[in-house]
Structure 1
Amino acid sequence: MKLNEIKPDMEGVARTVFQGYKVEEFPVKIIDIIQGDLNTGLILFRAYGEKIEEIGGIASGMSGSPVYIDGKLIGAIAYSWSLSDHRFGLITPIEDMLALLESTGQTGEKGFRGFPLNTPLYISGMQGRAFQRTRKVFENLGFQVLQGGGLGARTDTEEALEEGSAVAVQLVRGDVNIAAIGTLTYMEGGNILALGHSFTNKGEVDYLLSRAYINAIIPSISSPFKLGSPTDELIGSVTVDRNAGLAGTLQKVSRIIPLSVKVKDQERDKSEIVNVQLVKDEDYLTSLITNVSLQAIDSTLDRVGKGTARVKLKITGKGLPELGLERENVFYSRSDIAATALYELYELMNIININPFKKVELIDIKVDVEISNLDNVALIQEARILNEKIKAGDTLEIEVTLLPYRSDPVVQNIAFKLPDDINPGNASLVIDGGLTGISYQALPDEDYELAEAKQAIVEGYKDLESILKDYLARPRNNELILQVYPAYYVSEQEIEETEEEGENQEERQARENSPGDDVIETEEKEEKRPDSDRKIREQNSYREIKEIHATDYVLEGNLVIDFNIEEVTENTAPGSV
């Protein structure tokens, strides 16, 4: 039935699930038609009957409940008011919803932007801060977030899927479940319509669709709500998410990303593996992956505190270099090792998901975390070069003293080969620990501005491959980085130009007319030193001379040692003693 055929005082019935899987009817009465913008309208109605009076009115989770007058579908229950008489609500006309089946690729469509019934979003398998972080993400989108039952509750039903059945739109399924519960409005030829208002309002989507089991409808002063959980059997996918509701199909299932998080607590010799499937939505993936991983660590450790973690990441996807990347690192925290251990996972997922260069089709994600209660952290206490004289090509004998936390010093001897053509003169050896300031950061709050992160990611880069290459080349936190900065080569021409700036015009003219000993000496030096030699020395001033050595500790601090590289004469071969 079309909107222009509906009149005040018409009576009909709505269909929904009050408990279990059984679809039941309750009476409704049309009050008026409310005209909206862009030739849209909503149907104001009042629900009544024994069931409605018992629960206190229209409940969250009834979104999508089909309404019929004289056996004809007029639309879906979609909107109501909190802290009011919950028997009153608004219906989205069915013609607006049917347009969703033809809306693929369109940027706009009919629909009311108002105050939809808070779609209950149930999260199971998460507790504590992982749940709180995830709840914040979805409450900011207008969801009523509740802790619910697990996946697969009560799948043994003889009730067939029909208009009015409870359905769940799943974002995460497995050991952790995140799903919104609503009602199926329309079903024909493998196509479905649901909710009567948007879920994320993102247009074309690919979300998992299953049936839902309703435990009960809970009365509430703010708004009654359905308490339920998704079933383990998928029935299709949601492909369109717009103002007038959801459209989807029963003929295919959404593509998903498997995530496996393996955690071992070495102190208690306890291991857990958390496996989930995630929908391919870049806007939520980083938060979902890190929060599921945080839950896996927190539930395994059953504590928040200090420790050392070894983390291995393996990410597979189309669009990544060689279809995947791997990263291993060691982390230490004095207060929250779980959150600190996941920071690189968070960074990498942000790089992949919000980079502006190309879309990455993620295929599989594996996270392997081993955590001990040990303080495997050390300070770079002192260092010295043991060589008495140093020339180009020599091997530096370096003694580095590490001071582990509340333990005795540990001496590490390192041999560092200098290039044969390194510039002579004063040089510096910088010894640094791989643990930088950013490595101390834990997971940022969910209010973190992605726009700022995106700008930081792309600055100075022209493609995703170069970003990932530089990121994966970053030193690990347990690595000792030694880098030599050779003497800066100053050409004779630069010396002359500097000296000339301090001379007056007469002195400069006199020197040009009557060359002195200094000029003759300079000319002789330039004659002896070919252009190729000068260019090499200039290039050597800027090249990187670095070695990286792994240790048993997460390293903090840095030291600088100045030393002199003697000029190699014709009679002294590079590297000779």
Structure 2
Amino acid sequence: MTLSRLAARRVNWLAGGLLLAISVPAMGAAPPIMPLADVRAGQRGEFLTVYTGVRRERVPLEILGVAAGFAGPGRDLIVARLEGPHAEHAGVVAGMSGSPVYIGGRLVGALSYSMGTFSSEAIAGITPIQQMLDIPAASSQPATGDPNLEARYPLAPLFGLEAWPEAAGVTRAVAMTPLAVSGMVPAVRDLFEPLLATRGLGPWAAAAVSSGEPYEAALVPGDPVAAVLVGGDLTLAGTGTVTLVDGDRVLALGHPLVHAGDIDFPMARARIIVTVPSQAGSFKLSRVGPTVGAFTQDRSAGLAGRLGLESRLIDVRVRVAGPGDDAGRVFNYHIVRSPTLSVPLLELVLANTLMADDLGGGGGTIYTRGSLHLENQASVHIDTAITGGPGGPPAALLAARYVATVFAALAMSPFVHDRTLGVELEFSMEPRVQLLLLEEARLDRAQASPGDHVQVSVLLRDAVEGHLSRETFRWTVPDLPAGTMLTLGVGDAAAKARAAGETGLAALRGAGSATRLVRALSAIPSPQGLYFWIGRAAPGIILRGEPMPGLPPSVAVLMSRDGTSRSRGLLNQSLLHEEERRLTGVVSGSHALTLEIR
């Protein structure tokens, strides 16, 4: 039977002794609409969906009633019982969301919710079509950064001031959208599945990118459709069903994908490999096809988009080199721009890349170098090292989290959040934990005069092999009053950050422009650095991320209490000298010494 004949065929069945005729309009025509006021319990209808391949099938249903305010004020939901062999076998299927529902040839809405788990009947919720038609073409509100990102991506661990947190969740979404996944390492999937589930994405199902199978020329109601979140060497796409095509406008899903409002997600064709029945929740295993447009709105009533649009994505290029592999392997990805998804998706693809060959999956050391490129031609530069060991998170996950946290600082900023053009990174992996412990630091004298040359000797021990090494710092004493007491410090990145009054962290949080934010991110101390600094007591404050030492104590206290100053606390000292020595490995530990000026 041809698709055109299938579309025009009248489906008949006996119910209560009456012969009912249910028709679906031809696929090329915009169907008439049935308003919610005309929907009654006992009405018979059907919906269109695909269970295998791209063949649309009709499934009968009976309207049970209307649940007023189900999804919020004015957000009523039509409740229906699905009937027929498919409903008995698989029930309400994840991936069916958006399937158009018709009564007497009129479009009622989109199948969108499964009402209950382990239910003995297939009870579904239907989003009224008028709610979907009311989805705006565009929002008048500009997109903003996601303030909730810092719960998962706090900035302090970048400076070694706090440990990296466990994943932080948010309220679980009501409706789940199945994910088509290709190229995912199982261990990474297990780690990130709960995180994306809190955003309404799941279950995850292994799938492949389409290899050129033919599709009908036009996208029509009942067709599978995908919102592609990640493309390239890893595919991650939320899949559902088309509800309505009106010219170049497409409506789908009947519930939010991640409830992100304005979006720019590639819209792609999809093919159903198989529908997997399960008492815990049936789902469609799908394959992502060619891109045909872009989804531009993600609202309570569903997705809306346009055919022919091209999404603006974040390009990610990663080169990974293991021991003895100087050339390495190159991976390319494309990630959607989204206040809520871009950062965790970047973390996911980086973790997946690093764990693809079991490198960095346990202990060892990962060196990361690269840049986050912004549209104003500025770049945030990353140069860091991460170690992982027994009992702790794998080095690969820590390295991915580090880069994602730098990216999150951009995403949370009102100046930069949607201006990242691309990410270029190089990861170099060493199977051995390269950790250097600071054993001791010695000053060659306790007193010195202006013009004298003082020397600090630092002893370091390899945490794994026990080898000792020594570093030496030299400094010429400036012209300072006799009796001045100086603090000489040597240590890791965290100790350096504390000695500076955490001005680096304050600069991130208080950056008042894109330029300041980029400068602050690029100046994050490296875990590979052995730092040497000299400070003297000098009360001051941190104002808009910038240190202001040497203020009279009373002035410093007053200004630190001024809520409009955006200060982040008091400074106890000013640094007269700072020096970094970049070593091979991650440095840990610190020592403080005292020098008196004669």
Same fold (TM over 0.5): yes
Relative to structure 1, the CA distance from residue 304 to residue 417 in structure 2 (aligned partners, 3 Å threshold; closer, same or farther) is same
Q: Are 1:316 and 2:351 an aligned pair?
A: no
Matched residue count: 489
Q: How does 1:533-548 map to 2 (within 5 A)?
A: 542-548=574-580
Cα shift readout 1:103-162 (whole Å, capped 9, x = no counterpart): 74489xxxxxx9965321233322344212321122223443213213235633357421
Distance 1:389 1:101 in 2: 73
Cα shift readout 1:399-448 (whole Å, capped 9, x = no counterpart): 333323334422334432333x2344464452423343899xxxxxxxxx
Residue among 362, 386, 398 paired with 1:331: 386
Identity %: 26
Relative to structure 1, the CA distance from residue 467 to residue 101 in structure 2 (aligned partners, 3 Å threshold; closer, same or farther) is closer
Aligned to 2:106: 72
Distance 2:222 2:496 in 1: 52
Q: Are 1:280 and 2:312 an aligned pair?
A: no
Residue among 114, 117, 122 paired with 2:180: 122
Relative to structure 1, the CA distance from residue 221 to residue 554 in structure 2 (aligned partners, 3 Å threshold; closer, same or farther) is closer
SS of 1:21's equivalent in the other structure is coil
Cα shift readout 1:330-376 (whole Å, capped 9, x = no counterpart): 33333432233334313312211123555341100122110112343
Q: Are 1:3 and 2:61 an aligned pair?
A: no
Aligned to 1:551: 583
Q: What one-letter code is carried by the residue in structure 2 that aligns with 1:324?
A: S
Relative to structure 1, the CA distance from residue 243 to residue 551 in structure 2 (aligned partners, 3 Å threshold; closer, same or farther) is closer
Residue among 88, 93, 96 paired with 1:62: 96
Unaligned runs of 5+ in 1: 108-113, 440-454, 490-540, 567-577
* 1:216 CA displacement: 1.1
Distance 1:423 1:464 in 2: 41
Q: How does 1:155-194 map to 2 (within 5 A)?
A: 155-158=213-216, 160-194=218-252
Relative to structure 1, the CA distance from residue 542 to residue 260 in structure 2 (aligned partners, 3 Å threshold; closer, same or farther) is closer
Relative to structure 1, the CA distance from residue 457 to residue 422 in structure 2 (aligned partners, 3 Å threshold; closer, same or farther) is closer
Aligned to 2:527: 477
* 1:25 CA displacement: 1.9
Relative to structure 1, the CA distance from residue 165 to residue 270 in structure 2 (aligned partners, 3 Å threshold; closer, same or farther) is same
On the 8 A contact 1:116/1:197 being kept in 2, the answer is: no
On the 8 A contact 2:110/2:127 being kept in 1, the answer is: yes
Relative to structure 1, the CA distance from residue 314 to residue 40 in structure 2 (aligned partners, 3 Å threshold; closer, same or farther) is closer
Residue among 44, 47, 59 paired with 1:14: 47
Residue among 208, 224, 237 paired with 1:150: 208
Q: Are 1:291 and 2:348 an aligned pair?
A: yes
Moved over 6 A (4+): 455-458
Cα shift readout 1:380-408 (whole Å, capped 9, x = no counterpart): 33344457984323333443333233344
On the 8 A contact 1:171/1:207 being kept in 2, the answer is: yes
Q: Are 1:411 and 2:470 an aligned pair?
A: yes
On the 8 A contact 1:313/1:345 being kept in 2, the answer is: no
Aligned to 1:538: none
On the 8 A contact 2:446/2:595 being kept in 1, the answer is: no
Distance 2:176 2:288 in 1: 17
Relative to structure 1, the CA distance from residue 242 to residue 425 in structure 2 (aligned partners, 3 Å threshold; closer, same or farther) is same
* 1:328 CA displacement: 1.0
Distance 1:558 1:283 in 2: 38
Please say which of residues 473-482 and 26-35 is displaced more in the overlay: 26-35
Distance 2:231 2:428 in 1: 25
* 1:211 CA displacement: 1.0
Aligned to 1:29: 62
Q: How does 1:251-400 map to 2 (within 5 A)?
A: 251-266=308-323, 271-302=328-359, 304-318=361-375, 323-335=378-390, 336-356=394-414, 359-386=417-444, 390-400=448-458
Please say which of residues 34-43 and 202-211 is displaced more in the overlay: 34-43
What TM-score does the superposition give when structure 2 sets the normalisation length?
0.73
Greater helix share, structure number:
1
On the 8 A contact 2:364/2:433 being kept in 1, the answer is: yes
Q: Are 1:562 and 2:594 an aligned pair?
A: yes
On the 8 A contact 2:173/2:199 being kept in 1, the answer is: no
On the 8 A contact 1:202/1:242 being kept in 2, the answer is: yes
Q: What one-letter code is carried by the residue in structure 1 that aligns with 2:132?
A: M
Please say which of residues 350-359 and 130-139 is displaced more in the overlay: 350-359
Aligned to 1:97: 132
Q: Are 1:201 and 2:259 an aligned pair?
A: yes
Distance 2:529 2:285 in 1: 51
Distance 1:418 1:438 in 2: 20
Distance 2:86 2:379 in 1: 55
